[in-house]
């Protein structure tokens, strides 16, 4: 009985010493083009997160905005695309 209690205590201590790390990375870029009455802006963002177990999550977002002036009026069109991927180690 004594050995069982010591084994459980040591096993609990070993698992408690496992380092828990998490890595988060975020990148963003923006490009603007102006040509006369037309403006175009592209914005791209990517976020990556990895936890201590090796689970990885990647998210990306791309937004395109177009503006155009015609006879003093501004017309704006915006398009957003989001993607997400989760990966677990084998």
50, part of any domain: yes
Q: What per-residue confidence (pLDDT) applies to 9? A: 52
Average confidence (pLDDT) per 10 residues, the chain, 90 residues: 53 49 75 85 89 86 90 89 85
- Domain assignment of residue 56, yes or no: yes
Containing H/E element for 8? helix 2-16
Q: Is residue 62 part of a domain?
A: yes
> pLDDT at position 21, please?
61
**Residue 29 included in any domain:** no
Residue 17 burial (10 A CB sphere; 0-12, 13-18, 19+): exposed
Establish if 21 belongs to a structural domain: no
Range of the domain at 67: 42-90
Integer CA distances (angstroms), 1 to 4, 5, 7, in order: 5, 6, 10
pLDDT at 66: 92
> What whole-number distance in Å separates Cα of residue 63 and Cα of residue 33?
14
What's the number of domains the chain is made of? 1
């Amino acid at each position: 009985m004594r050995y069982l209690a010591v084994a459980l205590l040591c096993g609990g201590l070993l698992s408690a010493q496992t380092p828990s790390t998490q890595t988060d990375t975020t990148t963003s870029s923006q490009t603007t083009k102006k040509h006369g009455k037309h403006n175009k802006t592209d914005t791209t963002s990517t976020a990556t997160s990895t936890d201590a177990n090796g689970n990885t999550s990647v998210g990306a977002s791309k937004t395109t905005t177009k503006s155009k002036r015609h006879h003093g009026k501004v017309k704006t069109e915006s398009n957003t695309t989001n993607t997400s991927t989760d990966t677990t180690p084998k």
